[in-house]
Structure 1
Amino acid sequence: MSTMNLQIPRQAATLRLLVEDRLRTAIASGHFKPGQRLIERELCEQIGVGRTSVREALRQLEAEGLVITIPHRGPEVSSITYEEARQLYEVRALLEGFAGRGFAEHGSDEAIEELRLAVERFATAALGEDRAELVAAKTRFYAVLMNGAGNTFVKQSLTMLHNRITLLRVTSMTQTGRLANSVAEIREIFEAIKTRSGDRAEAACKRHIEMAAHVALAVLAKAEPGETHNGKA
């Protein structure tokens, strides 16, 4: 197992939310893999918090689909099938295309600048080897994109899909050439939004998801029946 540091400050006011975020990031970065048991006692020791905080965080991650509780075994990281992934990417492409168009046509100049900074952060993270930072940077990009679209219900739907697709993110981005292409694709999204081109922004968002889906689904298709993979879009 890797030596990822999961410790968080004891003085944090929103302890449960921080534990949730730390566990979510650990799953997204591949520190905890699909099918791996999440033992409360070990998590308490790794994160440095009490069992109540860990239990509440696991309950929230289970609601998001990242964790599943197996009878007589306990919680473990969820797996995702080829067909589930295909459907998730299909819906996500539609919603993110809509979000990109909305951002281009209605987003504020301040939001566009925020998006530029998020793109640059991701591009910088792509040059390093810190998977947790890569996940955090891509998550930030999507958060700015969803906020800029200005549609609460699209944001809620995409947040749910992003939480579920977390199980695939590292795999797709660690495939040869995918990371560089991903950076180029989100730069294209930004340029389209910056120039206020709704059509171009929608097409760029859809293309980004379709390319990520192509890579992730190809990996899943190679798996033996019953086997699953972990990764990032």
Structure 2
Amino acid sequence: MSEIDAYQMLHGRIVAGELSPGERLVEEELAEQLGESRGSIRTALLRLEHDGLVLRERNRGARVRRVTAEEAVEILEARAALESLAAGHAADRRTDEEAEELRAIVADMRRLHGEGELLAMSERNAVMHRRILEISRHTVARDICARLNSQVVRFQFRTVLAPGRSTRSLDEHTAIVEAIAARDRSAAEAAMRTHLSHVAQALLAIAA
């Protein structure tokens, strides 16, 4: 296993909630679990600290960083600025095949919603946001949003379970995709801003 593999495995476990906020990350224990050197684990933890997922404290080691609801809202506000920009670029730059791909994701989300598979729907939601960033060809927005999103993904899985939120989310994603498909830059930007604003409101309601 390489340092990159160690990073990806630890990143995945933190985002999935297998490593809980506040949990200590002991280099020796992680090295034994992953079959890697402590040096590789240390490098992976440094990258995770840069991503905002790990907190390293002098003489106390590393822990999974806790993200408060207030901080999560600020992250969503930053994402709204960047992802609305990306949605506008996606409307300008998308191919016909990419527009159909986004519509297929919405259709998949609608099917999962009808089946009551809300967490699976939320996973497809994450795929859609990632694809819009990729379709935008805006590499700076894509890379920054990837780091920001990993910090709040646990909150977003909770928001989709809020009463009525999944139906509204589906409608919001449909509006985003149809604006991109229509090459309507301003509508795509507005739809993305509205969507992420509503996610932030749902998050605050859950945390209250």
Q: Does 1:187 align with 2:174?
A: yes
The structure with the greater share of residues assigned to helix is 2
Contact 1:172 1:216 in 2 (8 A): yes
Contact 1:34 1:77 in 2 (8 A): yes
Residue of structure 2 in register with 1:229 after alignment: none
Q: Does 1:209 align with 2:191?
A: no
| Cα gap change, 1:116 to 1:63, in 2 (>3 Å) | same
TM-score where L is the length of structure 2:
0.80
Secondary structure of residue in 2 paired with 1:61: helix
Alignment of 1:1-233 (within 5 A): 15-120=2-107, 137-220=124-207, 222=208
CA RMSD, 1 decimal: 3.0
| Cα gap change, 1:141 to 1:54, in 2 (>3 Å) | farther
| Cα gap change, 1:38 to 1:145, in 2 (>3 Å) | same
How far residue 55 of structure 1 moved from its aligned partner, in angstroms, is 2.7
Percentage identity across paired residues of the two chains: 31
| Cα gap change, 1:72 to 1:130, in 2 (>3 Å) | farther
Secondary structure of residue in 1 paired with 2:24: coil
| Cα gap change, 1:47 to 1:204, in 2 (>3 Å) | farther
**Long gaps (5+) in structure 2:** none
How far residue 87 of structure 1 moved from its aligned partner, in angstroms, is 2.3
Contact 1:27 1:167 in 2 (8 A): no
Secondary structure of residue in 2 paired with 1:69: strand
TM-score where L is the length of structure 1:
0.73
Q: What is the alpha-carbon distance in structure 2 between the residues aligned to residue 156 and residue 150 of structure 1?
A: 11
| Cα gap change, 1:47 to 1:177, in 2 (>3 Å) | farther
How far residue 207 of structure 1 moved from its aligned partner, in angstroms, is 1.6
